[in-house]
Amino acid sequence: MAASEAVPYAKTGGLADVVTALAMELSALGHRVTLLLPGYRGQATQNARREVMRFSILVMQTKTEVTVEEELVPVTEASHPLRVFLVRYDPYFDRPGIYQEDHHDYPDNLDRFTLFCRAVLHVLRALTEVQGEAVDLLHLHDWQTALCSVYLKALPGEYKELHTIKTLLTIHNLGYQGIFAAEEFGKTGLPPSLFSPSALEYYGSINCLKGGIICADAVSTVSPTYAKEIITAEYGCGLEGVLSSRIDGILGITNGIDTKVWDPARDFYLPARYTAANLAGKQVCKRALQEEFGLPNREVPVLGVVGRLTFQKGFDLLLEIIAELMSLELQIVFLGTGDYDLEQQFKAVQQKYAEKIGLHIGFDERLAHRVEAGADMLLMPSRYEPCGLSQLYSLRYGTVPIVRRTGGLADTVVPFRPSTVESKSATGFYFTDASSDALLSTIMLALRVYKEYETWNLMIKAGMSEDLSWRRSAQQYAGIYRAMAEK
C-alpha cells in the first residue's frame, strides 16, 4: 500500500486515518501488508527504525539518492506486524508541511510525488528481485501515488519483475487531482506520447489522477453513493467521462474507523470517559469543552464543527446563517484550518459573538477528540463528501450528526423520520439542498428533537451501538484484491 499520509506519521485529513486503520485490519485478517510513505519531518514513533535500502533514481539526468527506513508495527499476537517503509529524500520531504506551507502548495509537488512513486516501484522491485518476496498487489491512494500504475503500464521494460502486480487505485477525493503545467511533463520520465487526451493530458495540463484512473487495474472510492455520484457532471470534477469509461465500473467501499483510537470508553484525550449505558462522562466532556473554548457553562446544546476549511465542507453555509443561529439558545465550537479567507471570516464572527462561538484555528488531534465527545451535535454541511470520518466518530461518541445528504454522509447517517424513530434506528439529521436555508431548518429540527429527552437518547444510543469498525470493509477490500490477483 502506498500513500502520502498515514497516522501517526502524517495527517491532513481522513486519508491518514483510513490508510493506517485499513493496513492494520488487513494485517489482522492475516495478510502481509507493507505500507510505503514519504519520510516527512517529525515522524518519531515508539517503534524501532532502521535503514533497509539505499538507492538512486535518475530524474532528468540527475541521480537522486533515496534511503528507505523500516518500522515494524505490532498488530495482534497472531498476525504479522505491519511493515512501514519510509522513503526518505530530505530535500523534498523534510519540510514543515506535507503538501503546502502558509496556504500555498509547494511548487515542486510534481517532483516530490513522482520521485515517491518511482521509489515505491524501486522498493517493490528490490523486494521481488533481491528478497524473493512475491508482491501480489499494490493499493494506491489518491493522485500522489496514482502515477505508480502509469509507470507500471508505460515502462514495462523497466519494471519487468513487477509484471504480475495488479494495482487498485482508491480515490478519496476527486477535488484533488494533481494538476500541473504541461512544461513539467519531462519530470515524470514518462514517454512524451502519454501527454495525450487518452492518458495524462487534461485541458492542456498534466493530470496525475486521470492517468491513474486510466492505468490502474481497478478503481474504487470510499462509499457506494460517492461511487455513483462521481460519474455525473455535478460531482465528477471534470473526470466523470474518464470514470464512466471504465468498463469494470468504480467500486464503492465505505470507510470504517479505528475503534481503538476512537472509543469514548478508553479515550485518554478526554477529561472523562463514557459508554452508551452510562453517559455521565459525556456531560463532563461538554463542560470541559465549553471551558476550553472560552464559553460560559450553560445548559444549551453545543454544536461542534471539526474539519478542513474548504469549499467542499460547506462551512460557508454556516456563516450565511450565523445571525439567525445566534438568536437561538445554543453554542458552537469550531475546530478547523484551511482557506485563509474562511479562517478570517470565522475569526470575525467569533469576535462578534464571543459568548456563543468558540473557535480554534489550527490542527489539533487531541482537541478533535474533545469536540467529538463534548458536543451534542456535529455539523457537516458538505457540498460533497466521499465518505467522511468525522460523522462516524461523532456517532461513536454519542454526538448526533447533522449532515448534507451526499456521498458517505448519505450512506452512514440514518435520518430522523417517523419511521426511523419508530424503529429506533435514527442516528442523525440530513438535508438535501446545498443551501443555508436547508441547513438552518435542519438545525432547527434537531434543536426541537434535542428537547425530547427520550427520542434524543435513543438516537445517541443507536449511533453509539453501530458497528463502525474496519472489519467488514477490510474484508471487502481483501475480496477485491483476491479477485484481481486471480484475474
Binding site residues, ligand ADP, CB under 6 A: 13-15, 17, 306-308, 335-337, 363-365, 368, 387-390
Residue nearest to ligand GLC (CB): 14
Q: DSSP 3-state assignment of 139?
A: strand
- Give 17 or 71: the residue with its C-beta nearer to ligand ADP: 17
- Give 123 or 333: the residue with its C-beta nearer to ligand ADP: 333
Quote the CA–CA distance of 44 and 431 in Å, as a whole number. Answer: 42
194 binds, among ligand ADP, ligand GLC, none (CB under 5 to 8 A by kind): none
DSSP state of 84: E
The answer to whether the CB of 287 falls within 8 A of the CB of 297 is yes
Within 13-72, which residues bind ligand GLC (CB under 6 A)? 13-15, 18
Helix (H) or strand (E) holding 335: strand 331-338
Binding-site member from 255, 310, 391, 473 for ligand GLC (CB under 6 A) = 255
Quote the CA–CA distance of 22 and 475 in Å, as a whole number. Answer: 10
- Give 222 or 377: the residue with its C-beta nearer to ligand GLC: 222
Least Å distance, CB 472 to ligand GLC, is 16
Q: What is the CA radius of gyration of the chain?
A: 23
Q: Is 314 in the site for ligand GLC (CB under 6 A)?
A: no
- Give 21 or 36: the residue with its C-beta nearer to ligand GLC: 21
Least Å distance, CB 388 to ligand ADP, is 4
- Give 151 or 262: the residue with its C-beta nearer to ligand ADP: 262
Quote the CA–CA distance of 473 and 252 in Å, as a whole number. Answer: 10
- Give 215 or 389: the residue with its C-beta nearer to ligand GLC: 389
Least Å distance, CB 220 to ligand ADP, is 16
- Give 148 or 389: the residue with its C-beta nearer to ligand GLC: 389
Quote the CA–CA distance of 215 and 117 in Å, as a whole number. Answer: 14
Least Å distance, CB 410 to ligand GLC, is 12
Number of residues that bind ligand GLC (CB under 6 A): 14
Q: Residue 30: exposed, middle, or buried by beta-carbon count in 10 A (0-12, 13-18, 19+)?
A: exposed
Half-sphere exposure of 86 toward its Cβ, with a 13 Å CA cutoff?
28
Residue 130, sorted as left (phi over 0), alpha (psi -120 to 50) or beta, turns out to be alpha
Quote the CA–CA distance of 471 and 260 in Å, as a whole number. Answer: 13
**DSSP bridge pairs for 64:** 57
Q: What angle do CA 357, 361, 363 make, to 5 degrees?
A: 130
Within 375-414, which residues bind ligand GLC (CB under 6 A)? 385-389, 408
Least Å distance, CB 433 to ligand GLC, is 20
Per CB under 6 A, residues contacting ligand GLC are 13-15, 18, 172-173, 222, 255, 385-389, 408
